Chain A
Amino acid sequence: MGTRKYLLRKLMQAFFTLIFVLTMNFFLFRILPSDPVQMMVRNQKLTRAEQIQQMKDLGLDKPLWEQYIQYITHPWVLGRSFQSGLPVSQVIGDRIWPTVLLVGSATILSTVFGVMIGIHSAWRRGTPFDVGSLVSTMLFYSMPQFWFGMMLLLIFAATLHWFPVGGYATEGAGYTGMQHVVDVARHLFLPMMTLAIGYLGEYSLIMRSSLIDVMHEDFVNVARAKGLRDKLVRQRHAVPNALLPIFTMIILYFGYVIGGAVGLEEVFSYPGIGQLTVRSIDQQDFPVMQGIFLLLSVAILIANLIADITYGYLDPRVREA
């Protein structure tokens, strides 16, 4: 199968999943016992005219099937938040960058160190280092992330005062330029470390088992038989091939982690998507909830697609299957 055909097939699959996801999202919010129209009428923040406008925007005055058609063809029309009256796209847009910053920096950290630990463990299987990293991986995997965050906060922010206790940046400090960057980084450090340490183990475990698989392949034996030094066999022949699954992992996890940092953002009062999710559900902010669902499911869908496509490029064997 050619590259183009593979690409086309993957795109088609993603498209159909997208339609299905939109359908499910649409019906999820229609079968909820809280009727959107009722909630809108009860809402005091919007004027009568705004309410009618919003109902028109969201098509809530039309029969269900027309609403469905409108939602499927215009999924980006999200309306305004019941709570603040601002457009949903703006409410979500304000919250997405802190989360991307948090999740992105944590992903980079955990991948780099996870891969390094994984290589070391696999190459020296059964050594104290390997056993130690396996046990600590299991330990961190078993920890509730939000609790680990609470402990770090308690130790490094509340007791030692090394870091601020929460938030994205110091409120009303008016920092500019470099000062602002340092301020944001200081706020970012603890939640980032919590996430990074939490995912470190999973990356190292995947890298370890992937490398162990590769170590038994013929081409590694050939490289050894040629008389290459151990380091060269590892760096030139084994590791590049073992990295393949890590690529897909990173991309897939990024999609999940965006939604997954919910507990952590609560602990550090970090103004990201996770916190917004909890708030909007507390306040029954139906348009924001729907927007978050759309954003998160599409993010994971796109991540899946990118993972499939890059994998197809990196490993031509996949395209044939």
Chain B
Amino acid sequence: MNPFPEQPIFPEPPELDEGLPEVVPRTARQITWTRRRKALAHFWRQYRENLLGMIGLIFLIIFVLVALFAPLIAPKSATLEVSAVKNDQPILVPPGYHCPQSFTHMVVNPQTGQPVTTEEACPTSEKQFYPLGTDNAGRSVFALLIWGSRVSLIVGITATIMTMIIGAGIGITAGYFGGKTDLVLERFTDWFLVIPWIALAIVLASVLGQSLFNIIFVIAVTSWAVTARLVRAQALTVRERPYVERARALGASNWHIISRHILPNLFPIIFANTILTVALSILSESLLSFLGLGDPLTVSWGNVLQDAQALGATTGGQWWWVLPPGLGITFVVLAFTMCGFAVEEITNPRLRRR
């Protein structure tokens, strides 16, 4: 600990191998940040070499762009709430050009009194293009697919942040303080590992009620235990390191040691775990929504699949209703998984030689 944080400690010899414009660090903070910047640049150079990781990253960027620009890709005028759907949409039609319902139902032309011709029943000018057909309410499956990406990303990322906060919090408390605290927290973690997460998630979700936040909360509450285990093990080893002892001898508080020494050391360990947790959270969201525990008012891929299942799209052979949302989930999860594996390979030296 430098008692005068803005004063130079000692001049760092400039390192020439990193190829970055070198600023000679002046203060403790600058030294830290220079080191972090270098580590990050080094990490990126390694990541760039990883083919699967790069493919995953490109997928991910595409998904984020789609989610951000959803209103431009699939205008919400083809509104997605079931209650607001105009009766005019063609119902359950495969991909292709289709007429509004009011035309296809016309049998006799009201002006001439004659039976309608094919052109009159469905005039080419009225036809609209449905790239992925429509569902039972006449909603364009393409629009559902595009808008569903938002919920997946939001739930995946927020649930992961919550999972990490709970998991890291409990893991650090158990590992750093040890003793009785550790014993109690370990049994507590055990329960969450032993109880099948899906049963607990269903109970919690049905008790809390259907909303997007509750889904996020339920996923976080049921998935932090693995992270807590990982963090605890790492905290146990870090707290025995000489520099922690040194900091304590200098009178550092627990909070200082945790925030300045333990947390930064955890980062490489939980980084890959974090990305893989996003993938798992997205899968969990889709399953919970599929079971009817999601928010029925938001469009999510799981909700779409629930509708499809409940209304017999699988047995009815309406593949255009079932296939796209599932592919959406698969590819967004795959993107996160690929990135996670790539990061794991870099941060875990044991895997690198493989």
User: Which residues in A have some Cβ–Cβ distance to B below 8 Å?
Assistant: 16-17, 20-21, 24-25, 28, 32-34, 125, 135, 138-139, 141-144, 146-148, 150-151, 153-154, 157-159, 165, 209, 212, 256, 258-260, 262-263, 266-267, 274, 277-278, 281-282, 289, 292-293, 296-297, 300-301, 304
Contacts and interface: CB of A to CB of B under 8 A. Distances in A.
B194 A21 contact: yes
Interface string B158-189: 00000000000000000000000000000100
Most buried by A among B196, B200, B202: B196
B34 to A, nearest CB: 36
B309 interface: yes
B284 to A, nearest CB: 10
A262 B198 contact: yes
Contacts of B313: 154
List the 4 closest A-B pairs by CB distance, nearest first: A259-B196, A147-B326, A142-B333, A142-B334
B142 interface: no
A304 B52 CA distance: 34
B40 interface: no
B337 interface: yes
B287 A262 contact: yes
Contacts of A292: 199
B314 A266 contact: no
Contacts of A141: 337
Contacts of B20: none
A260 B330 CA distance: 18
Contact of B290 (A146, A159, A297): A146
Given A142-B330, A259-B198, 13 more contacts: A32-B207, A139-B330, A142-B283, A142-B329, A143-B333, A144-B330, A147-B322, A154-B314, A259-B199, A263-B290, A266-B309, A289-B203, A301-B194
B326 A158 contact: no
B283 A20 contact: no
Nearest to A147: B326
B277 interface: no
11 contacts: A17-B187, A139-B330, A150-B314, A154-B315, A165-B314, A262-B202, A262-B287, A267-B314, A293-B195, A296-B195, A296-B196
Contacts, number: 136
A201 B255 CA distance: 42
Contact of A147 (B206, B329, B334): B329
B330 A143 contact: yes
A76 B268 CA distance: 45
B317 A20 contact: no
Most buried by B among A148, A157, A262, A282: A262
B195 A21 contact: yes
Contacts of A289: 203
Contacts of A263: 287, 290-291
A220 to B, nearest CB: 16
B323 A144 contact: no
Contacts of A300: 194-196
B283 A256 contact: no
Interface residues of B, number: 43
A267 B302 CA distance: 13
B299 interface: no
B287 A144 contact: yes
B322 A151 contact: yes
Contacts of B317: 154, 158-159
B286 interface: yes
B266 to A, nearest CB: 24
Nearest to A209: B354
A238 to B, nearest CB: 15
A267 B313 CA distance: 11
A127 to B, nearest CB: 14
B315 A157 contact: yes
A91 to B, nearest CB: 15
B291 A138 contact: no
Contacts of B302: 144
A209 B314 CA distance: 38
B215 interface: no
A18 to B, nearest CB: 9
A165 B317 CA distance: 11
Contacts of B315: 153-154, 157-158, 165
A266 B310 CA distance: 10
A147 to B, nearest CB: 4
B334 to A, nearest CB: 4
B203 A281 contact: yes
Nearest to B338: A138
A277 B33 CA distance: 52
B190 A158 contact: no
Contacts of B196: 256, 258-260, 296-297, 300
Interface string B202-222: 110011000000000000000
B286 A144 contact: yes
B191 interface: yes
A146 B313 CA distance: 14
B94 to A, nearest CB: 13
Given A16-B187, A20-B191, A142-B330, A260 B337 contact: no
B287 A146 contact: yes
Interface in B2-16: none
B242 interface: no
A34 B206 CA distance: 11
Nearest to A17: B190
